[in-house]
Amino acid sequence: MLTLIIDLVLTYISTVAFGIILNIPRRALNTSGWIGLLSFLAYKLYLMAGGGIVGGNFLGALLIGILSMQAARWLKMPVINFNIPSLVPFVPGGQAYQMVKNFALGNSGVALQYLLEVAEIAGAIAFGFLLAELVNRLQARIMVRFSSKWRHERHRNPKL
Amino acid sequence: MASDRGQLVLKTALQAGRIMIQNGSEVARVDDTLTRIAQNAGYPDSKVYVTITGIMMALSSEGNAQVEPIKNRTIDLEMVTRVNDLSRKFAAQDITLTEFNDDLDDLEAHPNAFPVWLQLVAAGFVSATLEIVFRGNYHDALVTFLIGMLGYAVFFGVNRLARVRFLSEFLAAIVIGVLAIETVKWGWGNSTDDIIVGSVMPLVPGVPLTNAVRDILSGDLVSGIARGMEAVMSAVAIGSGIAVILQLM
């Protein structure tokens, strides 16, 4: 429990810090940190419930995609300000490193195993983003049909 | 013959598009923004072709199309956001086309980046926090903080001198690898693996990766594959830097 809380706090810090490296606008920093924290929490909970890494990364990426779009609409900013920093805790850095190390030391069999794992995680994240995009487009269509405010906004404002 | 107003619309739109692509926007956003700028300036049927290395744009009622090459790319998402804000203001008719054009010049002359020291400290925080999250090794967090900061400083410095992103990533990875192995030898750190995993995190090509996925999803296949290639090249540069050190030492 304590490690979970510490991990969440650290995820928030790492997301905000990566946002500073990418130079996202100052008023987007806090929100992107919270998106990183929430999606990482979902990932951790999924793992605790006995799920695998691939499903967890998929769930995390899906949440990042959906939450980022809500934040982008709310703060009226491009969505890349939120989804790029919050993706950082999901980068399969450990597996990629083991892959490189084993290739360098000549253990190609082990290295290929890690390569496969990296590819699985990357695929899961990409698929999570794809599904999030679908949800966002559906939401936009439904809201434009039923809300006059949205219809008005869509005509006036650039894409988020 | 093209009118003066048409020329100004083309110039403003192309400049806005160049700033956005240069600073890490995805292609569909630029396409949409440029079409809207033309629409709000009174040219509803413009033709825009955007890739990450150049933009072409024509207004149907005017004679000529114009080309804007994009030679260098950096990452500064605040610039993308500010062009987006200007485009919103123009759509709401808060600013005129001439003011829009002047504001873009002003934006390019005065970028509002975070100071370098803050970026370096942030790189340290990314390294240390992710090292703990991935590996749970509290003992090495401070060393990882310092090495991550130094690695990013090398990346930043070489990038400024040579302007070749892959070269700076390679050199930064080499510095990180050497320092990680040496600090463990001196007894400051416990695990070379954990230190390296944390320290390379600030170098991760997050923008090309995410944009590659988004571009391919939105049907901009040429740019999506180019972006994907950029991300793969970065990953290979970092990986080979680490691999060279692991093999030599």
The pLDDT assigned to B213 comes to 85
CB contact under 8 Å between A157 and B88, yes or no, is yes
Q: How confident is the model at residue A12 (pLDDT cuts 50, 70, 90)?
A: very high
The pLDDT assigned to A153 comes to 65
Together in a domain, B239 and B134: yes
Q: Which of B88, B109, B130 is the last residue of a domain?
A: B109
CB contact under 8 Å between A80 and B36, yes or no, is no
Residues of A in contact with B26 (CB under 8 A): 80
Q: Which of B119, B193, B213 lies at the smallest CB-CB distance from A21?
A: B119
| Sign of the CA dihedral with B147 first, then B152, B157, and B163 last | positive
Query: What's the rounded Cα separation, in Å, for the pair B94 and B81?
Result: 17
Residues of B in contact with A24 (CB under 8 A): 77-78, 81
pLDDT tens track for A92-145: 888 888 998 898 888 899 999 999 999 999 999 989 988 998 898 888 888 888
Inter-CA distances, B197 with A44, B28, B38, B177, B246, Å: 20, 34, 47, 10, 13
pLDDT tens track for A77-88: 888 899 899 999
Together in a domain, B122 and B148: yes
Alpha-carbon gap: B172 to the closest alpha carbon of chain A (Å) = 15
Query: What's the rounded Cα separation, in Å, for the pair B191 and B185?
Result: 10
Q: Which of B109, B129, B153 is the last residue of a domain?
A: B109
The pLDDT assigned to B1 comes to 45
Are the C-beta atoms of residues B27 and B50 closer than 8 Å to each other?
yes
Are the C-beta atoms of residues B46 and B38 closer than 8 Å to each other?
yes
Together in a domain, B30 and B101: yes
Kindly identify which residue of chain B lies nearest to residue A82, measuring between CA atoms: B77
CB contact under 8 Å between A25 and B76, yes or no, is no
Together in a domain, B80 and B194: no
Together in a domain, B124 and B217: yes
The pLDDT assigned to B129 comes to 93
Total number of domains constituting chain B: 2
Given the structure tokens 């934040």, which residue do they identify? Answer: A71
Nearest to residue B18, comparing CAs of B93, B131, B119, B105? B105
Amino acid, res. B241: G
What ipTM, to 2 d.p.? 0.90
Residue B249: other Cβ atoms inside 10 A = 12
CB contact under 8 Å between A23 and B77, yes or no, is yes
Query: What's the rounded Cα separation, in Å, for the pair B64 and B236?
Result: 42
Q: What are phi and psi of B68, to 5 degrees?
A: -130, 110
Residues 6+ apart with CB under 8 A from A109: none
Q: Which 3 state secondary structure label does DSSP give A78?
A: coil
Alpha-carbon gap: A14 to the closest alpha carbon of chain B (Å) = 5
Kindly identify which residue of chain A lies nearest to residue B243, measuring between CA atoms: A104
Low-confidence residues in chain B, pLDDT < 70? 1-2
pLDDT tens track for A22-64: 999 988 999 999 999 999 999 999 999 988 899 999 999 999 9
Together in a domain, B54 and B123: no
Together in a domain, B17 and B97: yes
Total number of domains constituting chain A: 1
Together in a domain, B65 and B133: no
Query: What's the rounded Cα separation, in Å, for the pair A156 and B142?
Result: 49
Q: Which 3 state secondary structure label does DSSP give B65?
A: strand
pLDDT for A155 beyond 70? no
Query: What's the rounded Cα separation, in Å, for the pair A65 and A79?
Result: 9
Alpha-carbon gap: A83 to the closest alpha carbon of chain B (Å) = 8
Alpha-carbon gap: B63 to the closest alpha carbon of chain A (Å) = 27
Nearest to residue B55, comparing CAs of B64, B68, B45, B46? B68
**Which range of residues forms the domain containing residue B240?**
116-248
Together in a domain, B75 and B127: no
Residues of B in contact with A22 (CB under 8 A): 24, 75-77, 206-207
Are the C-beta atoms of residues A47 and A53 closer than 8 Å to each other?
yes
Together in a domain, B130 and B94: no
Nearest to residue A84, comparing CAs of A41, A29, A5, A134? A29
Given the structure tokens 């982008």, which residue do they identify? Answer: A72
Together in a domain, B151 and B218: yes
Residues of B in contact with A105 (CB under 8 A): 246-247
- Tell me what the mean pLDDT of segment A65-84 comes to: 90
CB contact under 8 Å between B87 and A94, yes or no, is no
Q: Which of B152, B197, B214 lies at the smallest CB-CB distance from A94?
A: B197
Interface probe for B, chosen from A3, A11, A13, A22 (most Cβ of B below 10 Å), is: A22
Together in a domain, B240 and B148: yes
The pLDDT assigned to B175 comes to 94
Q: What share of chain B is helix, strand, coil (3-state, %, to 5)?
A: 70, 5, 20
Q: Which of A11, A97, A104 lies at the smallest CB-CB distance from B247?
A: A104
Q: Which of B53, B87, B109 is the last residue of a domain?
A: B109
